[in-house]
Structure 1
C-alpha cells in the first residue's frame, strides 16, 4: 500500500514491522524517535515515518495559539518552536504563517484540549507596563499585562474578571467564557446576539456550544443593562418553561367558539368575522379592530381573537424576569407605561410586579427577527445598541431592531407604528410611508405646518396629497382609552379620562398646561393631570 505524504517527494511503502539489522536504532524522520512496529518507508532513500506520524492532522487549533489554526509542516532547521525554543530541523511542527508562530509536535502533543476546558486560567501580573494587545478583548494599550502561566494568554486586568459562565435573558442555556472560537466558521457572518455587531473570533466571547449563540464580553456583562442577566429564581422549573406550553387564556366554550366568556369582561362575548364600518379599538392591544374579533354589544367592547389567546406568562429578551399577563394594569386608572415603545396606554399588559416593568401586547409579541415592509432586509432585536432610529433619529434607549446587511436601525416606537390610521382632516385612510412622496425638496406636515425631514417615516394619503408627522396624527397618547371612568378613594365622585391640549385652561391643581390627557370630575367641574400628586393637592385644598 503506497502513500504520498506531503513531507517527502517519493511514494512511501507500508511495512508491518521495521527490522533493525544493525545496532543503531531506526529513527522516524517525523518525530526523531525510534521506530518499532508498523511504518512507512521510502524505497528510494532512507526516509521512514511511524504509521502514527503519517496520521497526524494537517490542521489543528491549539491552546497555545488559540486565535488561528496551525498547519503541519515538514522539519525545517530555520524554524524554532515558540514553546521550547528548540529548532525544528528534526521534527514535524505546526505553523501559523500570519503570526509567524511555530510549535513542534512534541510540544503540541502536551496540550490536547482547549484551555477553556482543561484548566482555570492562572493569571499573574507583569509589573512593568508594556504596550500590548489584549488577547481577550483585542484592545491595544500600554498597561500592566496579566499572563496565564499555563497557556501564556496575555490580557488586561479587567479581562481577568469576567465570570466563566453567565446566563442571558431569552436564551435557554448558560454561556461560557471562551478564548478560542475556532469552532465558529470564519466564512460566516458572526454577530453578537445582544448588539448584532460582528464578533471577531480572534478574541474572547461568551459562547453556547449547543446552539452557537455568541455575545461580546461587554455586551453580556455591562452593568448598565442588568436586565439582560437572567434571573429565573421566581420560576419553579425554568427549563420546562416554554411560551408554547403555557396555558392560554381560557375560553369558556373552547377555541374559536361563537360565544365565550373572557375573564377580562363580565359579559359574554360574541364571535365576529366581518369587518366593522366604524373605527373601534381592541380592548387588549388598543389598535384598530379587525376581523376576526369578539365583541360585547351591550358595552360596545371589542377584542381581537388573537388577543384572547395570549399566554398567561412570557419571558422576553427585554427583561430578566418572567412577565405575567394582566387584563388591566394594577394602577387606579388602568394606565401603564410600556417600557419598550415609551407610550402611556390602556389595555392588556405583561408585567413584572417586582420591577414594575410593563410591555404592552404589541411590544411583547414583537419577534426577535422582524420583517417590516419599511425595510428590505430582516431586522434583529438588539438590546445593547447606541444606534439612532433611522425612521425618526431618536435614540431608543439601546433597544432597537438592527439590520446586519446595512446600517439601518429601527426603534421600538417606530417598529410598532400602525400601518394605517385615520384622521378627521382626511376622508381616506393614511398609510405609513417610508420615502419622500416626491422630489420637490419641500416637505411639510399638514397638521402642525412644520417642516418634515424627508428621511423620516410619515403618514400619507396619495389621493389628497396629505402628509403628516406620525406624532401629529396619532397624538401624544394614541393608546389611552379616553372617556373611560374610574373611582379613587381620594375623591367621592367618578373620574373620567379626557383629552386636554395645551390650549385648554391649565391644571386646576398645579396650574401647569396639559399635554394631551387629563382627569375630569363633571360634578366638581375640575380638570387635573392624571397623576396622584395633583389629585392629592386638590383634595387637600378642598379639605382646607
Structure 2
C-alpha cells in the first residue's frame, strides 16, 4: 500500500526541530516518539529519519481543565516521566514513559491518547453506549470483569454496558482511538522490559568486574608466590654456598 500524504503544511515540532514533519496515513504499526506507545493510521513523520508522533501527542494542549476523567484538578502536559520511580497511567494501567498529562495536586496521570477517552462513549465494537466503571467498584473486592475484546483480565480502568453484560478494557478502548483497531491490528508485540534490560546490563557489568577482580587477584597472588619462591631459593643458594666455603 502506498503512503498517503495528507495535503497540509509541513510542521516544525519542538520534539524534532532539526527536520519538518508531515502528516501521513498508513495502516502499519509505529512507535510514537512522544508517549512511547504504539499507533497506526494517521501520524506525523519525518521524511528524513525514523521519527513518528501520534496526532494526539503532536497537537496536545499545554493543559486540560475539567477533563471528564479527572475533573477535580487541573492537568498539565509533561514531555518526560516524573521522578525516578516507574509511573503508570491511571486510565489504561500501562507505564508512562514519555508524554503525559499529570496532576500537580495528586498523583493522577494519563497518556495523551487516553485523554481522548470520556466517561461515556460509543465504540464500533458494541451497539450500546459504554460507561467507565467507577474506581470504587474496581477496588471493593474482585469485580471479575473480563474484557469482551481481548478475553483477559488486567489492570487499568474498564468500560461497562448498562444494558448487557459487556465490558471493555480502557487499554482496548484506547486502541480504537490511536488507530490500531481501524488498521486491523488486534495484538501488538510486547515491549521489552527496561527493568529486565537494566538488570541484565548490571549483571554483566558485575560479572565482568568480579572476573577482572579475580583475575587481578590471581595475578597478584601468583606474582607474590613466584617472588617468594625466587627469594627463598636465592637465600638457600647463598646459605649452601656459605656452608661449602666454610673450613
Match of 2:78?
326
User: Of 396, 401, 405, which aligns to 2:159?
Assistant: 401
Report the alpha carbon displacement of residue 522 of structure 1 after superposing the two structures with TM: 6.6
Tell me whether 1:518 sits opposite 2:193 in the alignment. no
| Structure 2 CA distance for partners of 1:307 and 1:268, relative to 1, 3 Å | same
Report the alpha carbon displacement of residue 417 of structure 1 after superposing the two structures with TM: 4.3
For residues 353 and 388 of structure 1, what CA distance do their matches in structure 2 show? 32
For residues 292 and 338 of structure 1, what CA distance do their matches in structure 2 show? 22
Query: Is the 1:289–1:302 contact (alpha carbons within 8 Å) kept by the matching residues of 2?
Result: no
Runs of 4+ off more than 6 Å: 520-524
For residues 40 and 171 of structure 2, what CA distance do their matches in structure 1 show? 20
User: Of 20, 34, 39, which aligns to 1:288?
Assistant: 39
For residues 145 and 82 of structure 2, what CA distance do their matches in structure 1 show? 32
Q: Residue deviations 1:486-520, cap 9 Å, x none?
A: xxxxxxxxxxx75xxxxxxxxxxxxxxx7xx4227
Unmatched 5+ stretches in structure 2: 1-6, 207-247
Match of 2:145?
389
Q: Residue deviations 1:202-256, cap 9 Å, x none?
A: xxxxxxxxxxxxxxxxxxxxxxxxxxxxxxxxxxxxxxxxxxxxxxxxxxxxxx8
Unmatched 5+ stretches in structure 1: 1-255, 422-428, 433-458, 460-472, 483-496, 499-513, 528-544
| Structure 2 CA distance for partners of 1:431 and 1:266, relative to 1, 3 Å | closer
3-state SS, counterpart of residue 291 of structure 1:
strand
Tell me whether 1:372 sits opposite 2:51 in the alignment. no
Report the alpha carbon displacement of residue 524 of structure 1 after superposing the two structures with TM: 8.9
For residues 279 and 410 of structure 1, what CA distance do their matches in structure 2 show? 22
3-state SS, counterpart of residue 113 of structure 2:
helix
For residues 523 and 407 of structure 1, what CA distance do their matches in structure 2 show? 48
For residues 338 and 259 of structure 1, what CA distance do their matches in structure 2 show? 31
Query: Is the 2:39–2:180 contact (alpha carbons within 8 Å) kept by the matching residues of 1?
Result: no
For residues 417 and 273 of structure 1, what CA distance do their matches in structure 2 show? 18
For residues 385 and 365 of structure 1, what CA distance do their matches in structure 2 show? 23
For residues 41 and 74 of structure 2, what CA distance do their matches in structure 1 show? 30
User: Of 60, 70, 79, which aligns to 1:310?
Assistant: 60
Report the alpha carbon displacement of residue 274 of structure 1 after superposing the two structures with TM: 5.0
Alignment TM-score, normalising by the size of structure 2: 0.59
Match of 2:109?
358
Alignment of 1:239-318 (within 5 A): 258-273=9-24, 275=26, 279-285=29-35, 286-295=37-46, 297-298=48-49, 300-314=50-64, 315-318=66-69
3-state SS, counterpart of residue 518 of structure 1:
helix
3-state SS, counterpart of residue 101 of structure 2:
strand
For residues 45 and 87 of structure 2, what CA distance do their matches in structure 1 show? 24
For residues 165 and 47 of structure 2, what CA distance do their matches in structure 1 show? 46
Q: Rg bigger for which structure?
A: 1
Alignment TM-score, normalising by the size of structure 1: 0.29
Match of 2:238?
none
For residues 376 and 352 of structure 1, what CA distance do their matches in structure 2 show? 34
Report the alpha carbon displacement of residue 349 of structure 1 after superposing the two structures with TM: 0.4
For residues 63 and 115 of structure 2, what CA distance do their matches in structure 1 show? 11
More strand by share: 1
Task: Tell me which of the two structures has the higher relative contact order, counting C-alpha pairs closer than 8 angstroms and 6 or more residues apart.
Answer: 2
Report the alpha carbon displacement of residue 273 of structure 1 after superposing the two structures with TM: 2.6
